[in-house]
Amino acid sequence: MRTGSRTKTDDSYVYIKHLGTVGVYASVRVVGMEGKNYTGMNGNGSYVSVPLGQGYKITNYVAESFPTDYRNGKYKNIYLGLSPATHSSTTIYGWWSPDSI
């Protein structure tokens, strides 16, 4: 599953706060780069575990990886890929920001 996309305005962390009932894994994804190796996080698209009920900063290199394109308005829209830590039916909810708060 995924979030809707949002515009990233700087080279800061992505911030997420997950308020669901089970753990979740998140990955920063870049609109326009789907199906390619690059996804914006640590250069390899890995998922990170997001703690329940806590604010969490996700390292990403969206602005740094495409500096010229980024300055010209390309690859600024990002979204989160999300995967629950359980295979049971669950609800994932909370909030996130494309830039650190």
Look over the chain and give the mean of its residue pLDDT values, rounded to a whole number: 81
Structure tokens given for 23: 């753990």
- pLDDT tens column, 35-60: 555 556 544 567 888 888 888 998 88
pLDDT at 40: 60
List Cβ neighbours of 11 (8 Å cut-off, separation of 6 or more): 62, 63, 64
List Cβ neighbours of 26 (8 Å cut-off, separation of 6 or more): 16, 18, 47, 48, 50, 58, 80, 81, 82, 83
